[in-house]
Amino acid sequence: MIVGIDLGTTFSLVAIMRDDGPVVLPNALGANLTPSAVSVLDGGDLLVGEAARARATTHPERTALVWKRDMGTSRLWRVGDRSFTPPELSAMVLRSLKADAEAALGQPIEEAVVTVPAYFDETQRRATRDAGAIAGLRVERIINEPTAAALAFGLHERHREMRAVVFDLGGGTFDVTVLEIIEGVIEIQSSAGDSRLGGEDFAEALAAGVASRLSLPLETLRTEPRSWARLLAACDEAKRALTGAETARVALPDLSVDGRLRNIDATITRAEAEVLWAPLLDRLRAPTLRALRDAGLGPADVGEVLLVGGATRMPCVIRLASQIFDRVPDRRLPPDEAVALGAAVQAALKQGHAAVEDVVVTDVAPFTLGIAVAAQFGGQQIRGMFAPILERGTVIPASRVKTFETMADNQKEILVEVFQGEHASCEKNRKLGSYSLRNIPPGPAGSQSIDVRFSYDLNGLLEVDMTILTTGLRETLVVEQTPGRLTAKQIADARKALERLKFHPREALPNTTAMARADALYVELVGPARDVLGAAIANFRAALDSQVTPMIDDARAALLALVDQLSGPR
């Protein structure tokens, strides 16, 4: 069986296709959403998911969050006394999802369709595939998140003819995709977005606003991990509260700021928060309009607007989408689950599942791909100009070729540098790789022609063929080792290392998660409420020491009920 996985910045999900449609599988805690969080306990055990996320405020130096934005880079994340690459951290989440799926289905899972933001480039997609390999999953198909959401949406609308926009704002990335559905064919017409814009940025903007109002030194706060983590978590909670209320409170007793303890207590109105968020909302507008331009459409040409991603619950985001398209957006699919459900549809398509036998989906290249060239202007040679070969918006899989000529007499070698982006200058685009094409026959400048062909597949992976036309010599680009890209040996080594790491037992996660949530809340409380919670924590610890399962279950239920009660407005 092939599962569909939404590997998200803040939350991840795994789903499968049933005869009556796609469904999300629950994790060990019975929840559909698994936080993309990894934490290392003092004893060395690894926690993944809700328990790890709960430790982010109490043990920020031992917890990793929001590493998805660093996929495809060489950044190392320090977690406790260990260092991990972003693919290795993602692999731990994938491993947890794999275990949850196997527990729910009662069979081994070896293959997955994994989603990525439409604006993930080639190196980020390869890093995602590496993460799957480390986790023991075969990831032959990578699908864009808005395309996945379109699949989930289109599965129920396949007998209609319509044009729709998927407006996808998750925890860390933003994508907008224009699609058309005709007789079961879901055709993606354009995609645009911002791979470093999401709900986390709204929480950070709110934290910066609170710090400014209370005259707290923001840059100093950012250098104090525990204080910054507490402020950020409180502002994220306030952001969520403002979805349904006009005001929210940020209360943090004994917050360490520059060596002094401060009692933080601020009330934020939705209107005040939206002033802080205005620059972020402006960043949502530009890619949306660009996606419409690339599809050759105006807002009035769109029949449906589908909101996807947890951050689209925010009233200001809903209002922005309504203003751009002059219509009320559609929210029939659970915004947190739509991408995972679509990944399950794609997995079913790959398997040939009967439930999707009449569904066809196309996709488009989200970036322009090309090479660096030199050009003559007024007798001067200008290097580093970008020559597009495969334009953004091209329906994929696709293959495009352009012919280039030598620039110098008796030129024997050409350095073919591959870039991705939309700028005329290569230095403003992202370099994907390079290849030295040698053995060019001697001759005057311009006498030798070279065909450069780009072939781009549905997984967003690129192959570059270079052919010297006079000799027929053909070379294929092997992308050089890029930051964040692992070699086959590194993947094998990382997989062995992952197997050696001691993961916290899955069956004990409910207890560990309950304790982590209670500990995190205890830090934030003062007065009688703190005393009541402390007593409940002590009771739960006593139940754990007893090793009597019914007593543990009752104490855990009582503790979690109290945590939920005390987590409300204070």
Q: Which residues are catalytic?
A: 6, 68, 145, 168
* Coarse DSSP helix, strand, coil percentages of the chain, rounded to the nearest 5 percent: 40, 30, 30
What is the distance between the alpha carbons of residues 351 and 486, in angstroms, rounded to a whole number? Answer: 28
φ, ψ of residue 95 to 5 degrees: the values are -65, -40
What is the distance between the alpha carbons of residues 7 and 35, in angstroms, rounded to a whole number? Answer: 10
Among 461, 453, 456, smallest CA distance to 482 is for 461
Q: Is there a contact between 89 and 38 (Cβ–Cβ < 8 Å)?
A: yes
How is the beta sheet containing 46-48 ordered, strand by strand? Answer: 46-48, 37-40, 63-65
Strand partners, 260: 257
What is the distance between the alpha carbons of residues 272 and 187, in angstroms, rounded to a whole number? Answer: 40
Structure tokens given for 75: 């950044």
Task: Count the neighbouring beta carbons within 10 Å of the beta carbon of residue 407.
Answer: 15
Q: Any idea what the Cα angle at residue 135 is, between residues 483 and 58, rounded to 5°?
A: 80
Q: How many CA atoms lie within 13 A of 495 on its CB side?
A: 16
> Which position has the token pair 């993930």?
120
Q: Is there a contact between 5 and 341 (Cβ–Cβ < 8 Å)?
A: no
Instruction: Please report, for residues 349, 351, 549, the alpha-carbon distance to residue 398 in angstroms, rounded to integers and kept in the order given.
Output: 20, 23, 58
Q: Any idea what the Cα angle at residue 231 is, between residues 223 and 76, rounded to 5°?
A: 45
